[in-house]
Amino acid sequence: MTVTAYTLAVVLNLFCLFLGYRFLFQPASAATGYGVPADAGGDAAAYLTVKGVRDGTLGVVGLALLAFAGARPEAWFMLCVALVPLADTLIVLRHGGTKAVAFGIHFATAIVVLISAGLLFAV
């Protein structure tokens, strides 16, 4: 179970880094994949950049916790970070995105992050 817990945590953190990269360097396609398309020009560009920095930072912090503090601190981090995809679910629904994207991507991600937290607590 230890290998599974650590592997899932690393994969989720790397995925956050990937999302951050995508929002920073491919903002229009990243926003479409998020579920709420946005024009990468004008004011939207700033918000897409904020999302990229947020997601990338979560990935870096998660990897640092796992490497330097261990499974239990990472578990608490994952438990707290699960709020982000839960909020993203509501954001997509509130701003005209589809239920399939809201629940199939964001809510499902929150569940996987919570499973990761549970596995890390069990290590």
Is the C-alpha dihedral spanning 110, 113, 117, 119 positive or negative? positive
Range of the domain at 13: 2-122
pLDDT at 40: 64
List average pLDDT for each run of 10 residues in the chain, which is 123 residues long.
96 98 94 87 86 97 98 98 97 96 98 98 96
For residue 9, CA distances in Å to 15, 24, 52, 64, 115 come to 10, 23, 20, 11, 10
Provide the domain count of the chain: 1
